[in-house]
Structure 1
């Protein structure tokens, strides 16, 4: 399973490198987390990775850096030592996050239908998102996350494990794991609190670092209040956030389309 995932991630990374980098990929998806610790301190670093400070201190100790405190200012040398240690540990013994007995080819789907032409059309006219079939909306979200620096896998169409996308945030030492649930709803149909609670339960059960609910509409008041109660283990992204993610494609040159061409570009259900 791990070999197949590495091959898939390599394909996704190659495609990402071909895209122009317009914004900081991590901050454009997951905003900087509030922290009581000074910037560049060990505690601040732990908060950004959404892991307990004690675990990060333990990891540094295992890497041979002892006696650290949450306010310790981390240097590049410290990060390199920790990264070398984690890579060695991963090579020696990969930790399985969860077990799935389905054949790998039944689990993973490479996003192929979301073309640059379609992304450009959606960037110029985001309301077309609501014309996508629910599955194509999931593929769109997976592509947006991928192009913003994440490694993503899309679950099987008929699978209902409580999430649609499994991903890792690249660019950090720990590569935090996230689960995303996609809801392609009409603008008037808001996502309710039960979806937020459901994904939080799956996030806890799968031991992921973050749960992400992404919708083409918006969220109810109860859903926002539940997110505040849960804290930073859950993030809510709605239509305006999708518009912001799509904005990077406005400047990408592609074949000029007419209104009828734009309609033709929308994948069929």
Structure 2
């Protein structure tokens, strides 16, 4: 018999504390301490991060919910209470990123900070939180791929607790949550190391690399999932957004490193 892991970590009367929430909070706290340490390393006020999260976290949650509801409108139209019932499930990370970015633009302007410097600081923490957060999906037996066999999962050399958790209603499923988690955590390690090197990066490069790295992995994983938000009958929204983000990030990188540099060189020659 295969018994799924209990998604509820603790019950206190009518109050239920889910593993999903605990895992999300764990990712948030780890990301917070890493970003706060980077602020100290760059001799910036670490309290800025607390102020930022106070506004960015609610904006991310609201953005994630609005994004999800917008693309599942047929299920929510005429049900205004369900639109805000986030505890019933239904959020999207791309909506969270958009919501947080809007707050970031306002925050850095108010605090007289560089947008690119600030996003470079928080980008590694963001992708780490995303990688850890996928284990919340694992506990809920969601965000998985299509049907597979136990033999396939064993060939991936997965521990038995993951294999058993991928057994849902009599069928084994591809652990896409794990694919994305490993990709995101590898991205965190890469960005963290690159941020500490003496390579000639410009402000914004780490954030742009985050966008490209995450989007490449998300594009691949999304193609394997069975619960994707769809733009059309054949176009998955997350894949479209991933392509758009990659194009935008690459164009900005080229502009920062080549176009704007040439313009500055011309200005110096004119002077």
Q: TM-score, normalised by structure 1?
A: 0.30
Q: Point out the structure with the larger strand share.
A: 1
